[in-house]
Structures are given as C-alpha cells and as structure tokens.
C-alpha cells in the first residue's frame, strides 16, 4: 500500500519540477537566453504540463510578431547529384542506389511558373552540391526567374561554395540562402561527415553569406547520431552569436542506404522543444515546420506550428522526380506537402487557427548589412570587379 505521505511527497516533487521548468520558460521569454545548465534542463523536461506551457509561450511570441500568418515557400529540388558524402544523407555521393536526376533550366523555370500560378512568391532552389550547375549556369537560372517574377524571392539551398560565387548569385538576384550548420560541435561535426568536409569551412561559408547580404538560414537535425544536450547547447550558443534570419531544424531520420541506416530517428518531442526554445530566443526568426517533422508523425507539421514554427515549404518539383530526392526513409511526397495540394494544406492550417500566407514573407530580423550599405555594395561592384566587402574568418 502506498501511504498518503509518500504519495503527497511524489506529487509535490512533480509540482516543484513543473514550477521550476515553467519559470525557466518565463525567463527565456523575458530575456531570450538562459545559462547552459538551464538550457539543458529545459531540453530534458518530460513533464507534459511544462511542455505545453513552453509550446504555448512560443506560439504567443510568434503571434506577437507574425500574427496568424504561416508563410508558404515553394520548394524546387533541382538536382540530387552531390559531391559530398555525409554519413546521414540519402543523396550522398557513394549511395549507388539513389536514382539521380537533374532538372534543366526550362524545367526549373516551369516549376516557378506553376508555383507562381498557385500563388507562391518565394521559390527555394534546393539541391545536392552538383558541379554541373556552374556559377554561370545557376546564375542564369536565378536571373531568368527574377526577370519573369521580379516580386518573388529566390532562396538558394545549395551548399558550400566560394565567396565569389555567393556574391555572383546574390548579384543575379538570389535573396536568401539556407545552409544548415548541422552541429556547432567540431567533434560531432566530424562524426557526421567524412574528413574531406570541414567544420570551419562550413562556418566560414555562413559568415560569407551574411556578409554578402543574403538573408541567411542556419540549422541542424534533431537527434543526429552523437548529438547530446551539450552539443545542442552549443548549437543554441552558435545561433545566438550568428543571429540567422531563418533556422531550419527537423528530426534526423535514417536512410537505408547510408552508414547511419541502423540509427534511431530524432523524436517529435525533442524537435518541438527545440522549436519552442528557438522561438523564445529569436522572436522574429523564420522557422519552418519541416517535411522531416511531417514524416515522423502524421500531425508533425501541425504540431511544429503549434510549437512556434511559422513557415511551410510545399514541394514544387516535377512529380516524376519527387520520389527521388530521398534524403531519408519514407520522405512524404504525395500528400499535403505538395504545392498542388495547397488548398488542403491551407485547410489544415486553418483548423489550427492560422492562415497560409502566400506573401514573400521577408524576415523581420535586422540584416547585418543595412539597406543603405547594400545599395552601395551593388553600385560599387561589377561582375569583372567583385566588391571588396571583407571576408570574415570563422571563428
């Protein structure tokens, strides 16, 4: 028989955990930061009541800055060739089972055309690091899209290149660049990537992208092999210092033909906690509820939104290649995440009390380069004579 005393004791210790965690949420909301130990504590919380409180606060903060809008981006996965060999990724160079494809310039422009007709005003060109798309070739594609759709934003998600190339694409009209840092712990980084890939190089690319004047997105997978609460705190500290405009996070999901085939997926609950913590740290950041989150749970994307996310990225790639951009197992590609199912997606978002917003949806965070400086930057550089904006080395 459990006596009343020990029962009461358990209840009160649980209440005290809830009280402490909720006060961490309050403080994070107020100050946008916590100590390392406090971040760890909040990420380790299991109490449903505290988690609900965390999610609610994140949602409220997002509503203050973005209202009830959830921004839509049309995703064009234009190549699944990749020169890299990341251990986690299904389109890594050594995966002979991946069915490779590349879209032509015409295909890509047609995707944008279809997307435009569906109402999209941001196009995200995402691909593996495929050297077939030279600086000039991709530059031409960007120029064409901007020529046809000048009011639309073009976002690149195309990996690590040199400063000159980043500047060139920016001058061609690319507005934003997504490059997840993957982890801010150097040892963890080396556990996810082969030696030829370098943590400092990636961090340097992020600095250069910002310096160029892009709205920049960083981010990481949740639950990637070797990730701990300590490495996660380093991610939060890196983001705090870097101040990205966008942060992409989603659960790691194993892909059957990679070295990480047998590893466990990241969890819904850790992803939700991190989305909320990130929202409280960066009230104005653009934070997608990702396809990976929608893959691990049928309501994953909705739950992401209810934890503070405010962007969705439906797929605009041609239907015949959609099943080939397989970064991980069971990636959803036939349902609500397709851009053509926009209405269905809008309804699902409406049911949450939100509305799918088709505007360009620029970041409300301050850019590191002021608008004035950006104009000077454009005026002072020509294609032959690249601008002299200083490279900053990381760290």
Tokens 């980043």, residue located: 166
136 within 8 A of 364, measured Cβ to Cβ:
no
Closer CB to ligand 5AD, 138 or 346, in the complex: 138
Q: Describe the chain by its helix, strand, coil percentages, rounded to 5.
A: 45, 10, 40
- Minimum distance from residue 387 beta carbon to ligand 5AD (Å): 28
Alpha carbon separation from 39 to 32, 51, 57, 107 (Å, rounded): 11, 14, 16, 45
Give 313 or 357: the residue with its C-beta nearer to ligand 5AD: 313
Euclidean distance between the first and final Cα of the chain, in Å? 60
| Contact stretch for ligand 5AD (CB under 6 A) within 7-15, 61-69, 99-107, 247-255 | 247-255
Question: Per CB under 6 A, does 250 bind ligand 5AD?
Answer: yes
Nearer to ligand 5AD, 266 or 308 (CB): 266
Q: CB 192 → ligand 5AD: shortest distance, Å?
A: 9
308 is a contact residue toward ligand 5AD (CB under 6 A): no
Cβ contacts of residue 157 below 8 Å, gap of 6+?
A: 124, 125, 126, 127, 177, 178, 179, 217
In angstroms, give the least distance from the CB of 180 to ligand 5AD: 4
78 touching ligand 5AD, by CB under 6 A? no
Residue 255 near ligand 5AD by CB under 6 A: yes
Based on the shown chain and the rule CB under 6 A, indicate whether residue 217 belongs to the binding site for ligand 5AD: no
Cross-strand partners of 355:
69
Work out which of 28, 42, 75, 89 binds ligand 5AD, going by CB under 6 A: 89
How many whole angstroms separate alpha carbon 79 and alpha carbon 133? 9
Footprint on residues 323-382 left by ligand 5AD (CB under 6 A): 327-328
Q: How is residue 225 written in tokens?
A: 């092999």
Residue 250: strand pairing partners = 221
With CB under 6 A as the contact rule, the residue among 71, 88, 214, 325 that binds ligand 5AD is 88
**By C-beta, is 61 or 327 nearer to ligand 5AD?**
327
The residue nearest ligand 5AD at its CB is 328
Q: For residues 303 and 306, what is the distance between their CA atoms, to the nearest angstrom?
A: 5
Minimum distance from CB of 51 to ligand 5AD (Å)? 22
Stretch that binds ligand 5AD, among 160-168, 196-204, 251-259, 374-382 (CB under 6 A): 251-259
Residues 6+ apart with CB under 8 A from 178: 124, 126, 155, 156, 157, 216, 217, 219, 246, 248
Q: Does 39 bind ligand 5AD (CB under 6 A)?
A: no
d(CA 242, CA 244): 6
Q: Which of residues 143-182 bind ligand 5AD (CB under 6 A)?
A: 180, 182
Under the rule (CB under 6 A), what is the footprint of ligand 5AD?
A: 88-89, 180, 182, 221, 250, 252-253, 255, 292, 327-328
């Amino acid at each position: 028989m459990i006596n009343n005393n020990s029962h009461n004791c358990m209840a009160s210790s649980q209440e005290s955990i809830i009280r402490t965690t909720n006060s961490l949420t309050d403080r994070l909301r107020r100050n946008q930061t916590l100590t390392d130990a406090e971040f760890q504590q909040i990420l380790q919380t299991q109490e449903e009541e505290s988690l609900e409180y965390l999610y609610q606060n994140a949602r409220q903060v997002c509503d203050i800055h973005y209202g009830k809008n959830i921004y839509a981006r049309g995703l064009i996965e234009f190549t699944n060739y990749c020169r890299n060999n990341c251990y986690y990724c299904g389109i890594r160079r050594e995966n002979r089972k991946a069915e490779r494809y590349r879209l032509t310039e015409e295909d890509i422009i047609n995707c944008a055309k279809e997307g435009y007709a569906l109402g999209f005003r941001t196009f995200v060109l995402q691909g593996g690091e495929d050297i077939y798309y030279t600086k000039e070739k991709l530059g031409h594609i960007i120029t064409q899209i901007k020529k046809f759709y000048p009011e639309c934003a073009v976002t690149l998600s195309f990996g690590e290149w040199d400063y000159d190339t980043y500047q060139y694409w920016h001058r061609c009209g690319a507005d934003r660049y997504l490059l997840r840092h993957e982890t801010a712990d150097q040892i963890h980084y080396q556990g996810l990537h082969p030696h030829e890939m370098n943590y400092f190089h990636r961090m340097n690319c992020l600095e250069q992208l910002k310096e160029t004047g892009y709205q920049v997105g960083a981010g990481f997978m949740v639950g990637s092999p070797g990730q701990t609460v300590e490495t996660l705190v380093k991610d939060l500290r890196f983001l705090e210092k870097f101040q990205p405009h966008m942060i992409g996070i989603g659960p790691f999901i194993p892909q059957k033909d990679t070295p990480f085939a047998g590893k466990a997926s990241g969890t819904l609950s850790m992803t939700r906690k991190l989305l909320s913590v990130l929202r409280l740290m960066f009230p104005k950041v653009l934070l997608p509820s990702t396809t990976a989150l929608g893959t691990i749970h049928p309501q994953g994307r909705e739950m992401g939104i209810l934890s503070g996310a405010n962007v969705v990225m439906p797929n605009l790639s041609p239907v015949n290649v959609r099943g080939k951009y397989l970064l991980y197992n069971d990636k959803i590609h036939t349902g609500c995440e397709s851009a053509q199912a926009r209405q269905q997606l809008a309804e699902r978002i409406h049911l949450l009390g939100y509305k799918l917003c088709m505007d360009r949806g620029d970041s409300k965070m301050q850019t590191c380069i002021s608008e004035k400086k950006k104009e000077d930057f454009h005026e002072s550089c020509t294609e032959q004579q690249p601008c002299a904006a200083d490279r900053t080395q990381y760290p």
